[in-house]
Amino acid sequence: MKLNEYIDHTLLKPTATVEEIKKLCEEAIEHEFYAVCVNSSRVELAAKTLKGSRVKLAATIGFPLGASSLESKMVEADAAIAQGASEIDMVMNLGLFKDGEHKAVLTEIATIKTAIGNNLLKVIIETCYLNEEEIAGASELVMKAGADYVKTSTGFGTRGASLKDVEIMKKVVKGKIKIKASGGIRDAATAREYIDLGVSRIGTSSGIKIIS
Dump pLDDT digits (tens) for 112-156: 999 999 999 999 999 999 999 999 999 999 999 999 999 999 999
Q: Domains in the chain, start-ordered, CATH in brackets? A: 3-211 (3.20.20.70)
Task: Indicate yes or no: pTM above 0.95.
Answer: yes
Catalytic residue chosen out of the listed positions 56, 73, 122, 180 = 180
Q: Is 99 a catalytic residue?
A: no
Q: Please compute Rg for the chain using Cα positions.
A: 16
For strands 201-204 and 178-182, give the pairing.
parallel
Q: How far is the first Cα of the chain from the last one, in angstroms, to the nearest whole number? A: 14
Average pLDDT, rounded, for the chain? 98
DSSP structural state of residue 114: H
Catalytic residue chosen out of the listed positions 73, 113, 122, 151 = 151
Using one digit for the tens of pLDDT, what is the confidence trace for 69-113? Answer: 999 999 999 999 999 999 999 999 999 999 999 999 999 999 999
Catalytic residue chosen out of the listed positions 56, 73, 89, 148 = 89
Calpha distance 174→138 (Å, rounded): 14
Shortest CA distance to 193 belongs to which of 164, 153, 157?
164
Q: Is 196 a catalytic residue?
A: no
Q: Is 187 a catalytic residue?
A: no
Shortest CA distance to 124 belongs to which of 211, 76, 62?
62
Bridge partners of 11, per DSSP, are 38
Using one digit for the tens of pLDDT, what is the confidence trace for 22-33? Answer: 999 999 999 999
Where residue 191 falls among pLDDT bands split at 50, 70, 90?
A: very high
- Residue 165 has a pLDDT of 98
Shortest CA distance to 212 belongs to which of 31, 55, 26?
31
